[in-house]
Amino acid sequence: MEASCDTASADWFEGPLGARVLREEAALAPLALDDVFGFELLQVGAWGAARHLLDGARTQHTTLVAPEMGPGVTLCAPLDSLPFKSDSIDAIFLPHTLELMEDPYAVLREAERVLVAEGCLMICGFNPFSGWGVRRACAQYFGRPVFPPQTRRLLSERRLRDWVALLGFDVASVYGYLGLLPSKGRTVDVRPRAALTAGAYLLKARKRVSTLTLVRPRRRARQRVLIGAAEPTSKVGP
């Protein structure tokens, strides 16, 4: 079952922590999208303020797919069963989408299905080993509201690398952003940093091109081109 933004998450995005997340991701998205071209960029899952992550898109067209209608949503559909043909989408953006889903791997597998060869996959996630992850664990332990709102679980960069590799992707880059501790922050800082030293990461991967193994036809026996030579024989005598 898919999760959608409710009042609690909307209030969080308007608060200092949620606003910081959206601010840094809005600044980071154009850097990640700078070399992403083609016809169609698909954002799978709504996150924050409508289509703010798609503003820097260089593709000809962008579509925001979500399980429920909302601001900026172009198409309503289950995120693990997208209404697109296989190998038809140039790029897919998953902004914390996997953290909101009951079965994140199914969503990832569906993204692989619709992406073209060499298609770009971009995934935002919170670092579970940062202060953001610790605060989430504390909220669960003390029975407080989920932090960040609506998230079912946080996925480490290493686990995500394993998943995308299994699905035939090569990781191109990983951008670390946010500070290790969940503070509101005063400035936008999207300097490249290791994901383990950041509160969140944006992983960027390319769908591997399938290589066909050519089966060569069985070599035929070489036809004799010299004629008139005597056949060798082991027979002795007349």
CATH classification at residue 127: 3.40.50.150
**In-domain check, residue 230:** no
Distance CA 131, CA 172 (A): 26
Q: How many domains does the chain have?
A: 1
Residue 75 pairs in a beta bridge with: 65
**SS3 state of residue 173:** strand
**In-domain check, residue 227:** no
Distance CA 200, CA 23 (A): 13
Distance CA 18, CA 137 (A): 18
**In-domain check, residue 226:** no
Q: Which domain holds residue 126?
A: 7-207
**In-domain check, residue 57:** yes
- The tokens describing 61, both together, are 């067209």
- The tokens describing 37, both together, are 């071209």
Q: How does pLDDT run along the chain (238 residues), one tens digit per residue? A: 344 446 777 889 989 999 999 999 999 999 999 999 999 999 999 998 778 899 889 999 999 999 998 888 999 999 999 999 999 999 999 999 999 999 999 999 999 999 999 999 999 999 999 999 999 999 999 999 999 999 999 999 999 999 999 999 999 999 999 988 888 766 566 666 677 789 999 999 999 987 544 445 454 444 433 334 444 444 444 4
Report CA dihedral (136, 149, 32, 110) to the nearest 10 degrees: 100
**In-domain check, residue 216:** no
**In-domain check, residue 130:** yes
Torsion sign, CA atoms 147, 53, 50, 189: positive
- The tokens describing 236, both together, are 């002795």
Helices (H), the chain: 7-14, 16-33, 97-100, 104-114, 131-141, 157-166
